[in-house]
């Protein structure tokens, strides 16, 4: 018996729904809810995490993210402009930087900034948040440089020419005309980078944390070993989502609005 | 007695792109208030010539004199020279992230250091001149091609240029929108603006130009009054080109 193509697609779809439903049902039925609740969803432990989880841990995570991203953005822009420069040594230096710090695991870079730099050069990065933020900025800068460069190259050449024909210098045209348009193009990958950075703050524990610098993941792990219970990890996971979801939604909204205004 | 130098003078101008010899020694003088139309087949070098005049392209030989000043000299302040030379592009090149008003004021404020209020007054005046004052707060994407090109002309005029360059300003437009842009260019000519116009609109060249220059293969083949170059061309290449154009 032959089926029409549409009928066959329909049947396949129903089969997928049925399989998914079966899988979920099995997972719910097979779960040991009593033990799960005891080990990961303990209400008392959950409530005792507050307000510290917000006013200390989440706050520090946000501060590291903000400082790291701001620094990374500035560094990335500088590196992108160097990559596009007619001066060859600038291009080489930027390419070398990008290749090295994109190639290294973030954890290694953090260790380099936190421990190797002070020993080798007797330089200690100042500030409570200084070493961690700097390490994150260095890593993020390497990633953002390539994104920003692609964005600048995506702006039609005629934009620069029109700006120059009006008497703007190259730098002025970059700042007022090209870079604003480049950032519109790269808004989605930029958000992506911000979310990745937010999660990379969890690597800062290798620097050793004090009460002042403890961030979400370390806070959660400490609480787990204090209570012999997994609930703090669930709480921390929820806080991460509470931060990232509104962020990505806000950018999606911004993107939609821009599409209506421009082009 | 001293004579005022021409607005634009090209002396033995050459341009090579690698092995490609695009301009093979161009000599051309454009007097103040004169309208020169540059015509010729595609690839003849007319756009490159125009782009050399404000040094969007770097000539590889010869000199360009603006009001007698050699703008190929190493110590020449190009940004200052460019504020005196308005340019209109085939693809309009309006700034899509700025509304019409900001398109018209940004260079006034950043380059000429005009105050926002004065820049806006100027923007309104030039927009009225191209009959688009009601679009002052629109974004370029909301305008038709003809309207965008008129805004681009207004943007150049807002800088109070002494001369204007038009690089095939109507070639990217739908046929029914060409007229509104040509009307604006013609009104500028009537006001005595010095203009160098690369165009394929032969009727327009004939009516508006003081001088028509026919280029082919990187050289000026024939130049003179539009009635003679377009009406009674002497060179075989000019004749062939004009026959092809009228057969379109």
Asked if pLDDT for residue A119 goes beyond 90, the answer is no
Alpha carbons B226 and B235: distance in angstroms, whole number: 14
Asked if pLDDT for residue A224 goes beyond 80, the answer is yes
- Asked if B36 contacts B228 with a C-beta cutoff of 8 angstroms, the reply is no
CA distances (Å), origin B6, targets A151, B64, B74, B105, B194: 43, 11, 21, 30, 10
Mutate to test the interface with A, among B81, B96, B139 (most CBs of A within 10 A): B96
Asked if residue B166 is part of any domain, the answer here is yes
**Domain enclosing residue B171, as ranges:** 33-55+79-247
> B26: which strand partners?
B13
Per-residue pLDDT of chain B (248 residues; tens, 9 = 90+): 457 889 999 999 899 998 888 999 899 999 999 999 999 998 888 999 999 999 999 999 889 999 988 888 888 898 999 999 999 999 999 999 999 999 999 999 999 999 999 999 999 999 999 999 999 999 999 999 999 999 999 999 999 999 999 999 888 888 888 999 999 999 999 999 999 999 998 889 999 999 999 999 889 999 999 999 988 889 899 999 998 887 66
Confidence tier at A145 by pLDDT (50, 70, 90) = very high
Q: Give pLDDT, residue B212.
A: 93
User: Hey, what are B85's tokens?
Assistant: 């030379």
The answer to whether B114 faces chain A, any CB pair under 8 Å, is no
Mutate to test the interface with B, among A158, A163, A165, A184 (most CBs of B within 10 A): A165
CATH number for the domain formed by residue range(s) A39-261: 1.10.3720.10
Alpha carbons B177 and B170: distance in angstroms, whole number: 8
Q: Give pLDDT, residue B195.
A: 94
Q: Give pLDDT, residue B248.
A: 62
Is B110 in contact with A176 (Cβ distance < 8 A)? yes
ipTM: 0.91
Calculate how close chain B gets to A49, using CA atoms only, in Å.
46
- For B96-139, the three-class secondary structure string (H helix, E strand, C coil) is CCCCHHHHHHHHHHHCCCCCHHHHHHHHHHHHHHCCCHHHCCCC
Asked if pLDDT for residue A72 goes beyond 70, the answer is yes
Query: Which residues does chain B have within 8 Å of residue A158's beta carbon, measured at their own beta carbons?
Result: 89, 91, 93
Strand arrangement, sheet containing B61-66: B20-30, B8-17, B61-66, B69-70
Is B56 in contact with A169 (Cβ distance < 8 A)? no
Q: What is the mean pLDDT of residues A67-74?
A: 94
Q: Give pLDDT, residue B135.
A: 92
Find the closest chain B residue to A177 by CA distance: B95
Q: What is the pLDDT of residues A124-137, one digit of tens each?
A: 777 777 888 899 99
Confidence tier at A259 by pLDDT (50, 70, 90) = confident
Q: At residue B193, what are phi and psi to the nearest 5 degrees?
A: -70, 135
Instruction: Kindly state the percentage of chain A with pLDDT values over 70.
Output: 98
Alpha carbons A72 and A197: distance in angstroms, whole number: 10
State CA A81 to chain mean position distance.
22
Is A168 in contact with B91 (Cβ distance < 8 A)? no
CA distances (Å), origin B66, targets A76, B8, B70: 40, 5, 7
Alpha carbons B38 and B205: distance in angstroms, whole number: 9
- Asked if B85 contacts B66 with a C-beta cutoff of 8 angstroms, the reply is yes
Alpha carbons A143 and A159: distance in angstroms, whole number: 26
Q: HSE (CB half, 13 Å, CA atoms) of A16?
A: 6
Q: Give pLDDT, residue A116.
A: 83
Q: Give pLDDT, residue B1.
A: 43
- Asked if A177 contacts B107 with a C-beta cutoff of 8 angstroms, the reply is no
Mutate to test the interface with A, among B54, B97, B142 (most CBs of A within 10 A): B97
Q: Which long-range contacts (CB under 8 A, 24 or more apart) does A218-223 make?
A: A218/A57, A219/A52, A219/A53, A219/A56, A219/A57, A220/A53, A220/A57, A223/A45, A223/A49
Strand arrangement, sheet containing B219-224: B85-88, B163-167, B194-198, B35-39, B211-216, B219-224
Q: What is the pLDDT of residues A6-56, one digit of tens each?
A: 889 999 999 999 999 999 999 999 888 888 888 888 778 778 878 887 778
Asked if residue B49 is part of any domain, the answer here is yes
Count of all residues that appear for chain B in the document? 248
Range scoring the smallest mean pLDDT among A107-111, A113-117, A152-156, B121-125: A113-117
CA distances (Å), origin A148, targets A103, A155, A159, A250, B25: 18, 11, 17, 21, 41
The answer to whether B220 faces chain A, any CB pair under 8 Å, is no
Q: Looking at residue B195, which CATH number applies to its domain?
A: 3.40.50.300
Query: Which residues does chain B have within 8 Å of residue A168's beta carbon, measured at their own beta carbons?
Result: 79, 107, 110-111
Asked if pLDDT for residue A263 goes beyond 60, the answer is no
Q: Is A96 helix (H, G, I), strand (E, B) or coil?
A: helix
Total structural domains within chain B: 1
- Nearest Cα to B72, choosing from B16, B14, B30? B14
Q: How many helices (H) and strands (E) in chain A?
A: 15, 0
């Amino acid at each position: 018996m032959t089926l029409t193509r549409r009928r066959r697609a329909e049947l396949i779809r129903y089969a997928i729904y049925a399989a998914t439903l079966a899988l979920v049902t099995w997972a719910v039925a097979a779960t040991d809810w009593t033990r799960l609740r005891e080990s990961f969803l303990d209400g008392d432990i959950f409530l005792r995490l507050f307000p510290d989880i917000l006013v200390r841990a989440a706050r520090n995570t946000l501060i590291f993210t903000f400082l790291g991203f701001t620094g990374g953005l500035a560094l990335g822009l500088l590196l992108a402009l160097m990559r596009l420069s007619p001066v060859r040594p600038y291009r080489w230096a930027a390419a070398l930087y990008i290749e090295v710090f994109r190639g290294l695991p973030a954890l290694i870079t953090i260790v380099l900034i936190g421990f190797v730099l002070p020993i080798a050069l007797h330089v200690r990065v100042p500030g409570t948040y200084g070493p961690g933020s700097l390490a994150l900025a260095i890593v993020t800068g390497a990633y953002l440089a390539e994104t920003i460069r692609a964005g600048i190259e995506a702006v039609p050449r005629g934009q620069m020419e029109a700006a120059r024909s009006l008497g703007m210098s190259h730098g002025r045209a970059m700042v007022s005309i090209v870079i604003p348009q480049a950032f519109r193009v790269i808004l989605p990958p930029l958000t992506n980078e911000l979310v990745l950075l937010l999660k990379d703050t969890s690597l800062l524990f290798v620097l050793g944390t004090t009460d002042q610098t403890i961030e979400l993941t370390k806070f959660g792990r400490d609480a787990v070993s204090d209570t012999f219970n997994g609930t703090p990890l669930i709480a921390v996971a929820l806080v991460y989502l509470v931060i990232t979801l509104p962020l990505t939604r806000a950018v999606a909204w911004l993107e939609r609005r821009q599409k209506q205004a421009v082009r | 007695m001293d004579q005022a130098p021409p607005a634009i003078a090209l002396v033995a101008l050459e341009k090579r792109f690698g092995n490609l010899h695009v301009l093979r020694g161009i000599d051309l003088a454009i007097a103040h208030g004169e309208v020169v139309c540059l015509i010729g087949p595609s690839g003849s070098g007319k756009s490159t010539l125009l782009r050399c005049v404000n040094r969007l392209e770097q000539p590889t030989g010869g000199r360009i004199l603006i009001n007698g000043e050699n703008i190929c000299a190493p110590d020449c302040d190009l940004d200052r020279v460019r504020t005196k030379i308005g340019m209109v592009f085939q693809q309009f090149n309006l700034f899509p992230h700025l509304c019409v008003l900001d398109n018209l004021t940004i260079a006034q404020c950043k380059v000429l250091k005009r105050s926002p209020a004065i820049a806006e007054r100027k923007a309104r005046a030039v927009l009225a001149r191209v009959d688009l004052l009601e679009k002052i707060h629109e974004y370029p994407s909301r305008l038709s091609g003809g309207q965008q090109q008129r805004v681009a002309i207004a943007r150049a005029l807002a800088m109070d240029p002494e001369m204007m360059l038009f690089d095939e300003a109507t070639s990217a437009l739908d046929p029914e929108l060409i007229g509104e842009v040509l009307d604006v260019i013609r009104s500028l000519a009537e006001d005595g603006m010095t203009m160098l116009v690369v165009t394929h609109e032969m009727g327009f060249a004939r009516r508006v130009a003081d001088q028509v220059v026919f280029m082919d293969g990187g050289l000026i083949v024939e130049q003179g009054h539009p009635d003679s170059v377009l009406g009674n061309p002497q060179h075989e290449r000019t004749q062939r080109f004009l026959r092809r154009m009228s057969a379109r």
